[in-house]
Amino acid sequence: MTDSLDRKDTEALEKMLPGTEGLKRIRILADLCIAYRETDRGKTIEFGKQGLELLEVIEDKKLESIILNELCWAYQCFGEYETALEYGFRNLEITNITNDKISKSDTFNRIGIIYYKLSNIDQALEYFLKALRIFEESNEILKVSSLLNNIGIIYSDLNDKSTALDYYNRAIEICEEHGCYTNLANSLNNAGSIFRRTDELEKALEYYQRALEIREKLGERWKIARVLTNIGMIHYDLNNHDKALDCFFRALEIEMGKGDIDDASQTLLSISLSYASTANIQEAYEYAGKGLAYTDRIDSPSIKRNIYQSYSEVCEIIGKFREALEFHKKYKALNDEIYTKDSSRKINELRVKYETEKKEKEQEIYRLSNIELVKTNEDLKHALDEVKQLSGLLPICASCKKIRDDHGYWKQIESYVSEHSEAQFSHGLCPECAKKLYPEYMVGKGEA
């Protein structure tokens, strides 16, 4: 399997399909799912469904897991979150059968993202923490950085900016140390959003620019849009509306090209805000209406909430106060629905539970290490004691070679050594003694 294929490779694979059957055909379909992940998610769904159909007849759990993961991702990007969840949970069942911990954790992460999109933030955090535990145990450092970033987003949405920034900074540190630039760009982008909310606009712009440079250097065109929108918002805050609009339209072109209606709807509202702030009333109302039109196709309450808030702001700026009030009420109702006291309580409980379990595990590892260290030290001490028993000055008879022990008794040398070590003796005669005792047998014999 491959994570990326160029256009020629993709075309070649598609040409192979008509003459290919069985497991080989499923592998090609899985590769095509991955290849079209960023450029044409409709094709990812098309080829994925073909693959699942064949897998009903030919069993291959690994390929099934790959295809289910890609379908989950594609439907999530189209904003069809319930369908995406269905594929996510089907993939969890497969990973339970194959006992593939890493794929299982990836699926936990994906499900967490979907729950976040659906504004079930306590469930999102629960699945993020499940994934994080396994990645930490498996020493999957780069995946740990991705999870830290996702958890930071949860706390950012709860307006706990300090905790969010702590998670982002931990992720940034890991990514810089291990050279994971895609994850680094994600975390820089999200940390920039925290600085924007604390009115540290220059610092926010610095973080966004770093993220954009990484995206451009890696050629990640499809991931540039969100950073461009964020940079545009900084220019909007600084009243540089020409620069802001340039960023927004560049982002919108990318978002429309890949069919991300969630991001496109919010970018359209950002364009509308810029036009409204420069008294271009007709354009402001036109783009606000385009952004609002997507709400019927979006399952995410948090994204709808953001659209309602932006639309209300546009209406207020251009003097449509009745409409502004109506959509502000819609925004407020959704906001209250998403961030209940109960959700905050559950999130705090999950965080405490994770930190407690992590601390207990570290203490257990330390305890077991100490037990092992004590045992090793005891073994070494015992070995040293045995060595010491045969070291130092030994009183030995100059004539018969007996050795005097600690109690004053004289013992044969072999007896003493056997008692104080694991050495055993076998008896024989050296050549000199053999000549002396048995001269008649040694005539003409050479020495061995």
How confident is the model at residue 397, as a pLDDT?
A: 72
How confident is the model at residue 4, as a pLDDT?
A: 46
Q: Is 124 helix (H, G, I), strand (E, B) or coil?
A: helix
Average pLDDT over residues 169-184: 94
For the four alpha carbons of 43, 82, 168 and 350, in that order, the dihedral sign comes to negative
Please, how many CA atoms are within 13 Å of residue 36, restricted to the half-sphere of its CB? 22
**Contact status, residue 188 vs residue 149, Cβ threshold 8 Å:** no
How confident is the model at residue 334, as a pLDDT?
A: 84
Q: Is residue 351 part of a domain?
A: no
Domains in the chain, number: 2
Average pLDDT over residues 332-341: 74
Q: Is residue 367 part of a domain?
A: no
How confident is the model at residue 306, as a pLDDT?
A: 84
> Which residue, of 39, 69, 98, is where some domain finishes?
98
Q: Is residue 381 part of a domain?
A: no
> Which residue, of 98, 129, 157, is where some domain finishes?
98
How confident is the model at residue 425, as a pLDDT?
A: 59
How confident is the model at residue 375, as a pLDDT?
A: 64
How confident is the model at residue 225, as a pLDDT?
A: 92
Any idea what the CATH number is for the domain that residue 68 is in? 1.25.40
Q: Is residue 401 part of a domain?
A: yes
Average pLDDT over residues 17-26: 90
How confident is the model at residue 1, as a pLDDT?
A: 46
How confident is the model at residue 229, as a pLDDT?
A: 95
Among the listed residues 300, 338, 307, the one whose alpha carbon sits nearest the alpha carbon of residue 78: 300
Q: Is 179 helix (H, G, I), strand (E, B) or coil?
A: coil
Among the listed residues 230, 229, 324, the one whose alpha carbon sits nearest the alpha carbon of residue 276: 324
Q: Is residue 210 part of a domain?
A: no
Q: Is residue 139 part of a domain?
A: no
Identify the helix (H) or strand (E) that includes residue 420: helix 413-420
Domain that holds residue 394: 389-448
How confident is the model at residue 431, as a pLDDT?
A: 66
Please, how many CA atoms are within 13 Å of residue 362, restricted to the half-sphere of its CB? 8
Q: Is residue 252 part of a domain?
A: no
Q: pLDDT, tens digit, for every residue of 47-96?
A: 999 999 999 999 999 999 999 999 999 998 888 889 999 999 999 999 99
DSSP label at residue 318: T
**Contact status, residue 118 vs residue 301, Cβ threshold 8 Å:** yes
**Contact status, residue 133 vs residue 149, Cβ threshold 8 Å:** no
How confident is the model at residue 295, as a pLDDT?
A: 84
> Which residue, of 61, 80, 98, is where some domain finishes?
98
Q: Average pLDDT of the chain?
A: 82
Q: pLDDT, tens digit, for every residue of 278-298?
A: 989 899 989 989 988 888 787
Tokens representing 205 are 């712009």
Return d(Cα 308, Cα 156) in angstroms, integer. 20
Please, how many CA atoms are within 13 Å of residue 113, restricted to the half-sphere of its CB? 21
Q: pLDDT, tens digit, for every residue of 342-383?
A: 455 555 556 555 555 555 555 555 555 555 665 666 666 665
Return d(Cα 189, Cα 160) in angstroms, integer. 17
More confident residue, 196 or 301: 196
Confidence class for position 151, pLDDT limits 50, 70, 90: very high
Q: Is residue 36 part of a domain?
A: yes
How confident is the model at residue 372, as a pLDDT?
A: 63
